[in-house]
């Protein structure tokens, strides 16, 4: 038995949201008489942190503390339209909708405050829940006082609505390949470097280290961004060396019959993961943000495959890269030439490939 180490790199690009029309998000915001803010959005939070990030956008735009925000997406009757949580669109598309709504509310807050303070709205600013005169912070009033005045003195409701729709699909000139508009609202970029250890006797592959760099536009919430990236890394790891939806050998009768036979990485097998966040703001994203969700699990499998080639000199072109597939590739490499060429190992795999039930990294 000999263990071989190798390193591999993969780079990707990923669009933010859909760009074929029909992908809108809407939002509605109101300020209650005590200054607390209700945000109504149709975005479903599936663990991606969209409620947190959109609430942050509203708090930042209005100049009020984050804990003043209540986010409501409890049902489709009271919430505005949102196409859904997919295509890495929640921060970019739905975030733009709440940003536009929050800007309207901010204008209304400043308009009421200007009446109360008897000064032009352009000379006012809002921060930390307080509206103050630029250059004269002592002359101020709380946003809660402004909201109370709007309700009980001026008889007005501080509210705003916003909607966002990415540009429609670009029209491509068939002769020149030129497009009449940018094909995507924003594109995120990423790179993953993998370090692996391969056992040339058993075919076992152990991923030792993943180093990843992500251009995320603007890290609205760095902790959430890193969580997305690390969660995606584990998914990419599983796809790269373990997980398959339809194991077969020698027939479908031998497929797994439950989740107990579907192998995923556990904490004990996780590699060292290092992340680098690169902030390259998007012109169209809320505060420069881009999408980060789905792209986080794209680069790892390719990087792992490249690292395996670096380690033992064979390409495995089918995922997951199980011990059997590694051994088949090594065997194909050692076969004699036939008709002036080497027998392609993927031809062997098409006949003999099957999924391993061996615990990854064991």
Asked, for residue 361, whether it belongs to a domain, the answer is no
The pLDDT assigned to 336 comes to 62
- Mean pLDDT, the chain, whole residue set: 86
Asked, for residue 92, whether it belongs to a domain, the answer is yes
The predicted-structure confidence for 292-349, as pLDDT tens digits, reads as follows 888 899 999 999 999 999 999 999 999 999 999 999 999 998 766 554 443 343 443 3
**112 pLDDT more than 80:** yes
Can you read off the two tokens belonging to residue 106? 């901010």
> In this structure, which long-range contacts are made by residues 222-225, counting pairs with CB atoms below 8 Å and at least 24 apart in sequence?
222/277, 224/48, 224/49, 224/52, 224/53, 225/277, 225/292
Catalogue the active-site residues: 294
CATH code at 277? 3.30.365.10
Q: Is 282 helix (H, G, I), strand (E, B) or coil?
A: coil
The pLDDT assigned to 249 comes to 57
Count of domains observed in the chain: 2
Return the DSSP state at 37. Answer: E
The pLDDT assigned to 248 comes to 58
- Tell whether pTM > 0.75: yes
Asked, for residue 117, whether it belongs to a domain, the answer is yes
In a shared domain, residues 116 and 212: no
Residue-range definition of the domain harbouring residue 110: 17-165
In a shared domain, residues 126 and 259: no
The pLDDT assigned to 341 comes to 41
In a shared domain, residues 112 and 209: no
In a shared domain, residues 102 and 129: yes
In a shared domain, residues 7 and 31: no
The torsion angles phi and psi of 120, rounded to 5 degrees, stand at -60, 140
The predicted-structure confidence for 219-272, as pLDDT tens digits, reads as follows 999 999 999 999 999 999 999 998 876 655 556 666 666 777 778 898 888 999
In a shared domain, residues 157 and 209: no
In a shared domain, residues 21 and 114: yes
Euclidean distance between CA atoms 188 and 192, whole angstroms: 14
Mean pLDDT of 168-195: 83
- For residue 42, give the nearest of 97, 3, 87 by alpha carbon: 97
The predicted-structure confidence for 44-76, as pLDDT tens digits, reads as follows 888 888 999 999 999 999 999 999 999 998 888
Return the DSSP state at 294. Answer: G
The pLDDT assigned to 254 comes to 62
Residues recorded for the chain: 362
């Amino acid at each position: 038995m000999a263990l071989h180490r190798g390193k591999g790199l993969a780079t990707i690009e990923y669009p933010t949201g859909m760009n074929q029309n029909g992908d809108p998000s809407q939002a509605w915001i109101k300020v209650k008489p005590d200054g607390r803010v209700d945000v109504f959005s149709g975005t479903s939070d599936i663990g991606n942190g969209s409620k947190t990030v959109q609430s942050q956008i509203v708090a930042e735009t209005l100049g009020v503390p984050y804990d003043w925000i209540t986010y409501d997406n409890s049902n489709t009757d009271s919430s505005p339209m949102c196409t859904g949580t997919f295509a890495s669109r929640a921060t970019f598309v739905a975030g733009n909708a709440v940003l536009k709504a929050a800007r309207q509310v901010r204008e209304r807050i400043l308009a009421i405050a200007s009446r109360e303070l008897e000064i032009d709205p352009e000379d006012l600013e809002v921060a930390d829940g307080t509206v103050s005169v630029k250059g004269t912070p002592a002359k101020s009033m709380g946003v809660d006082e402004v909201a109370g005045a709007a309700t009980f003195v001026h008889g007005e409701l501080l509210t705003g609505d916003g909607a966002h729709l990415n540009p429609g699909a670009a029209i491509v000139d068939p002769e020149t390949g030129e497009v009449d508009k940018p094909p995507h609202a924003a594109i995120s970029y990423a790179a993953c470097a993998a370090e692996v250890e391969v056992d040339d006797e058993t075919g076992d592959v152990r991923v030792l280290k993943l180093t990843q760099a992500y251009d995320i536009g603007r890290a609205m919430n760095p902790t959430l961004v890193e969580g997305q990236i690390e969660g995606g890394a584990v998914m990419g790891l599983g796809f790269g060396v373990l997980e398959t939806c339809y194991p077969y050998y020698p027939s479908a009768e031998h497929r797994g019959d439950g989740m107990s036979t579907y192998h995923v990485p556990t904490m004990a097998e996780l590699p060292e993961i290092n992340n680098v966040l690169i902030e390259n703001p998007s012109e169209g994203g809320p505060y420069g943000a881009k999408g980060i969700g789905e792209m986080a699990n794209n680069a790892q499998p390719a990087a792992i495959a490249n690292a395996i080639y670096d380690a033992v000199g064979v390409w495995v072109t089918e995922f997951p890269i199980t011990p059997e597939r590694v051994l088949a590739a090594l065997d194909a490499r050692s076969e004699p030439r036939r008709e002036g060429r080497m027998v392609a190992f993927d031809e062997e795999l098409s006949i003999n490939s099957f999924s391993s039930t061996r615990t990854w990294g064991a």
